[in-house]
Amino acid sequence: RQDATEEFKKYHPLDYVSDLPEGSIIGSINPDTLGKLREKKEVNAAPADSADTDKEIPHLSMCVSCPDFEVAARAVLPHKSIVYASTSANTGLSLKTNIDDWGRINFRPRVMRNVGDVDSRRSIFGHTSQYPFYISPMGTLGAIHPEAEPEMVRGAVRKGAHMVVSTASTKTSEQIMQAYVDEQTRLNNKSPTQLFYQYYMPVERKKAIELMHIVKKAGYKGIWITVDTPVLGKRTADRVLQAEEALAVGLGEEGTAEWEAGGENDFAPAMGGRVVSGQLSPHTTWEDLAWIRKEWEGPIVLKGIQTADDAKLAYEYGCDGILLSNHGGRQLHTAPSALMTLLEIRTYCPEVIGKLEIFLDGGLRDGSDVLKALCLGATAVGVGRPFMYALAAYGSQGVERCIDVLAEELTLGMRLLGVTALDQLKPEMVNATRLLNEMWRPESNNIIIKSRL
């Protein structure tokens, strides 16, 4: 027999099994089948589940930009964790576009201004942060670092950055909040950091309300409801890894039967440390916001808005904020970048700017680029993968270092742009012509197909 406890703990709390819905536990493992599974076939299997021992982890001081953390993480993470951290939908075009679009907007700096002192603080729903960026929600961080989400929280609290916690976290929402409270206590509650909660809508409303009440009681300051995952996108690298692992233990085609049959959404993953049967609900509609507002009195953000039309609907249905996002390029193939969506909102739905708090994420790798989003009307920008890689290689110290790197680039960018406070940023300080030329426009999108007899 093989003990899978340590591997299990990377992805789920230990009480996960006891919370499984009725019918999930189908019986004991037949030890006679283990021998068959250990008979490996000659296939192009995935690399061994260990880091490349030929690579050395750079000293933390050598990490001077966000890409440096990825290099360090790849030296320590097993192949499976690297796949999880870097995977994208289909051919990866959405992920590439996320990164590239930041470089397709240029600054228009002003000179001869006194920029001796700068203030980069920004408030999110009344909670001031040291920075106009925050740590994006990322699930199963136990596969990245043994201390998982609590270790990320410690780094955020020490530097005064806000963080959005994932529903799919390795640790429970209470455990993560306790790590936050403990770190705040150690710092005499001097950190402005607050935690918000990213929320997947379960199929069962009873479970949805139960989780919402748990999160509220724990002390999270707002919920960010993910709306771009009615089903999971095709995450190509994940599927290749699954097939490789199945072949390596002799399972063959049956190892990929689950996703080929569309079974991904039938799984019962841990949400906030608790099992919710059918994690992703394909039935959520705008009308559901009425009962959500009844159960949750704090700020509500819709995460995954990708058009101006839906931004307007979010405002009309009483949301407090929207997060422009394509899920890190992991969902719809060739979905628009958040920057493109922000430009569409500025052009066709400018009335929501200033009425909704507008966040965006995806592809940011330089602190100065945060300013581009703020010039165009964003409240703050979420950063995900760089913090994941920093955590993997250096723990909470890496998280702190990543915040410092982004913060330095941000304040340096402010000075070189000619501003000393974020409220001085204006749309005319950036040139977004290249993106605007490719932006969707209703007047040029009347595609009429004519047929000849």
Q: Which residues are annotated as a binding site for FMN?
A: 137-139, 166, 198, 226, 303, 325, 361-365, 384-385
Which amino acid is present at 235? Answer: R
Reported as type and span, the H/E element at residue 267 is: none
Distance CA 376, CA 430 (A): 8
Concatenating the DSSP letter of every residue in 419-448 gives -SBGGG--GGGEE-HHHHHHS--GGG----
Q: What is the dihedral of CA 95, 97, 103, 104, to 10 degrees?
A: -170
Which amino acid is present at 266? Answer: D
Name the token pair of 39: 């008979």
On whether the CB atoms of residues 203 and 185 are closer than 8 A, the answer is no
On whether the CB atoms of residues 312 and 355 are closer than 8 A, the answer is no
In three-state secondary structure terms, 143 is: helix
Distance CA 133, CA 149 (A): 18
Name the token pair of 230: 């009615």
Distance CA 170, CA 269 (A): 10
Handedness of CA 428, 434, 439, 444 (dihedral sign): positive
The bridge status of strand 357-361 relative to strand 163-165 is: unpaired
327 is catalytic: yes
In three-state secondary structure terms, 365 is: coil
Q: What angle do CA 225, 139, 380 make, to 5 degrees?
A: 55
In three-state secondary structure terms, 452 is: coil
Closest to 332 (Cα-Cα) out of 228, 226, 227, 240: 228
Name the active-site residue from 59, 79, 327, 333.
327
User: What are the phi and psi torsion angles at 317 (to 5°)?
Assistant: -90, 10
Binding site members: 84, 137-139, 166, 198, 200, 226, 235, 303, 325, 327, 330, 361-365, 384-385
Closest to 215 (Cα-Cα) out of 127, 274, 156: 274
On whether the CB atoms of residues 73 and 389 are closer than 8 A, the answer is yes
Which amino acid is present at 54? Answer: D
- Return the CA Rg of the chain: 23
Task: Give the other-Cβ count within 10 Å of 146's Cβ.
Answer: 13
Binding site members for glyoxylate: 84, 200, 235, 327, 330
Burial class (CB in 10 A: 0-12, 13-18, 19+), 95: buried
Active site residues: 327
